[in-house]
Homo-oligomer: A and B are copies of this chain.
Amino acid sequence: MDPLDILLNKDKIVPFYQPIISADKQIVVGYEVFARMKTESGPLSLGSFFTDDTIPEEYRNEIDDYVQTLALERFIETPHLYLFLNINIHSIIRDDADRLMEKLQFYQTKGLSFDRVVLEIKEKDYASNYSDIKHLITYIQSTGVKIAIGDVGISSSNLERLANLKPNIVKVNVGFLEGDIFPELYRDVLHSLSLLTRKLGSTLLFEGVDNYTKLNFAWRNGSRYYQGFYLGKPNPSFVDAEFCKDTIKKEFHRFVEYERKKIKGQLMLTEKLSQTLKATLKTIKSYNDLDETVLKIANALTTYTFRVYIVDHDGFQQSSNAVKSEEGNWELEKDSRQKNWSWRPYFIENIVRMDFEQKGILSDLYTDIDKDEMIRTYSFPLENALFLFIDIPYSYLYEQDGLL
């Protein structure tokens, strides 16, 4: 559509509201505002108008301002809801957000609550001019208005800048992921992002949630807010706050059941390994020859493992690696003795924990660098400040329930 047609038909432009649902209350807690133009063939999105740099900025600002005003008028009637407004940071930085803040202050006198206003900035928009933007954002947050960073984790996910900006909300768009398949890649990246926002205290919002699998993905990755066609499309009016409460409750129940099964599977394996191992350890008379010990244990647990070794409480390996050959025989790798593993994530924590609790620990799923495949490690406290490590191959984990 011609930009001039848009400008000349401003009275046909209306805000549409897409519901944002909270995982904790399973109700609509706010809306993101989108500009739509009423046409004969139905409402038309103005997304491309706002992102088209060939259109003079003052045109885009004028429409933006118009839609914002309509939305603000609507929101002062519902001061408990979050209002998500898309902001072009490069445009508002020119006057230090004065015009925008003045407008918000005007509506504040009419009942708008600042801490319910969320200004959404696209991640790519702060790539340049970063330090000015950081200052502006800090100022805006000091007024109580919240900042959301959008499109994180997909086209780009610069963690350091994200951490530095300390947004209140981090929006992850999963809309582009096709169908039901989530590449391992995104699982790993979003897991990292999820843990970072947990540390930082930013709230995660997954947008583009357009099917059941994506809702599950959002739930598993610690997303507190959800937005997407699966839950609700942009609408000219607000929806009932509880419109999807029952559905979400049911789906959460399924998610929980599935997760519970997985974790039970892991606890069962821990238990099984612990018992098999304890029985084997009873037959071991002395720990003088640790290579003999690992071979004995490896043979007893040969169903579960491809690599067994013993480490002391400072992380120095005290036995050779017992490694299963392709033919299934156990061999010793002598040069692995005296290697130190204290630098590995969770290592010392697990050693101290095992020592304290006198029981084994099953690790998370991670990639073994030598084999380049996903494995888990089971570790167990022996006597004399020694600790046993048993690496479990992908092929075993794959055959069992809940271990991948």
On chain B, the residues within 8 Å of A279 by CB distance are none
On chain B, the residues within 8 Å of A256 by CB distance are 314-315, 342, 348
On chain B, the residues within 8 Å of A161 by CB distance are 156
Do residues B352 and A263 form an inter-chain contact, with CB atoms below 8 A?
A: yes
Q: How many copies does the complex hold?
A: 2
Give the complex CA separation of A173 and B201 in angstroms.
26
| Central interface residue in A158, A164, A194, A348, by most chain B CB within 10 Å | A348
In the complex, A278 has a CB within 8 A of chain B: no
Do residues A199 and B191 form an inter-chain contact, with CB atoms below 8 A?
A: yes
Complex interface: stretch among A98-106, A216-224, A326-334: A216-224
- Minimum CB–CB distance from A76 to chain B (whole Å) comes to 23
Do residues A25 and B339 form an inter-chain contact, with CB atoms below 8 A?
A: yes
Known: A256-B314, A256-B342, A367-B199. A185 touches B157 (CB 8 A): no
CB-contact partner of A260 in B188, B201, B264, B352, under 8 A? B352
Do residues B367 and A201 form an inter-chain contact, with CB atoms below 8 A?
A: yes
Give the complex CA separation of A101 and B297 in angstroms.
45
In the complex, A26 has a CB within 8 A of chain B: yes
On chain B, the residues within 8 Å of A193 by CB distance are 159, 192
In the complex, A203 has a CB within 8 A of chain B: yes
On chain B, the residues within 8 Å of A351 by CB distance are 260
Give the complex CA separation of A176 and B263 in angstroms.
42
Known: A199-B188, A200-B188. A222 touches B160 (CB 8 A): no
Give the complex CA separation of A196 and B193 in angstroms.
9
CB-contact partner of A343 in B159, B223, B345, B368, under 8 A? B223
Do residues A198 and B366 form an inter-chain contact, with CB atoms below 8 A?
A: yes
Do residues A192 and B203 form an inter-chain contact, with CB atoms below 8 A?
A: no
In the complex, A229 has a CB within 8 A of chain B: no
CB-contact partner of A192 in B159, B365, B372, under 8 A? B159
- Minimum CB–CB distance from A158 to chain B (whole Å) comes to 5
Give the complex CA separation of A219 and B366 in angstroms.
19
Q: Which 9 A-B pairs have the closest CB atoms?
A: A201-B367, A23-B343, A263-B352, A192-B192, A188-B199, A24-B339, A192-B196, A222-B345, A259-B348
Give A contacts to B, CB under 8 Å: 23-26, 153-161, 163-164, 185-186, 188-189, 191-196, 198-201, 203, 218-219, 222-224, 249, 252-253, 255-256, 259-260, 263-264, 267, 314-315, 338-345, 348-349, 351-353, 356, 365-369, 372
